[in-house]
Structure 1
Amino acid sequence: MSTAPNQQQKQQSQQTPSREAAIWPTLQAHDAVALIDFLVDTVGFLRTAVYRDGDRVAHAQLDWPEGGGIMLGSYDPETKSWCLEPGTFGAYVVTDHVDALYERLSAAGVRVLRPIEDQEYGSREFAIADPEGNKWSFGTYPGEPRPATG
């Protein structure tokens, strides 16, 4: 019995839309604790890790249940090498539950920037703003399959 992958297995592995989280978008917040609570309790992220330094959040990791995640912490303008102004972040989050999420966030009074609608490229999506002013778009578009590599 051969253990070498057949041609079909090679093609499937070369064009898979699933991706492990290897890029972690980051943001900072004036009130990181409140933003974490909003993203977890209202939006649906998972609170994977939160490291505090007194009343500040030194580092937090929030995972999206369907894959990927973000990292965030308290805003510190004294950190010259890596300082991100709160409210300047934007992200597109892939979900298979876009309609249910839209209904839940709308019912919770979250500020909707763009109502849910079907896009001509096949996605169904909407956009919100979080309490810090960051923009979040949620939709069904998972990206294009990766091209086959040599």
Structure 2
Amino acid sequence: MSGCVFCEIVAGAVPAFRVADEPDGVAFLDTRPVFKGHVLVVPRMHLVTLAELPAELLPGYFALVRRLAVAVETGLGAGGTFVAINNKVSQSVPHLHTHVVPRTRGDGLRGFFWPRTRYDDDAEALAHADRVAAALPPGA
């Protein structure tokens, strides 16, 4: 898609520090990493959110993400990884991308990047669970 920096990286028109270039996606270093070695994985086609990723592309795309999580940990000697996708909110580039961030114990990253909250009681938690379950699309 014209004007999408990730599409331009996939096409080779914009340089990037590529980690993987495969039919299921392209992975490259984030230019503003949470920690050094932070990788972004993008599908080749322009999609904005995870919901737009066709079901037939899910296995290959997430297999690539999984392999990169292993590679980041092994290749960088990290203690683990943080894997995340933003959909619309906090999505700095409107092209589906998965973050694979190396983690080490004591790295200063605490939980998620936002404050945590609690349910008032079990009834409130159940009401939220029921609303999400009722909106769940049927499986493929």
Q: More helix per residue: 1 or 2? A: 2
Q: More strand per residue: 1 or 2? A: 1
TM-score range, shorter chain: under 0.3
Q: TM-score, normalised by structure 2?
A: 0.26
Q: TM-score, normalised by structure 1?
A: 0.25
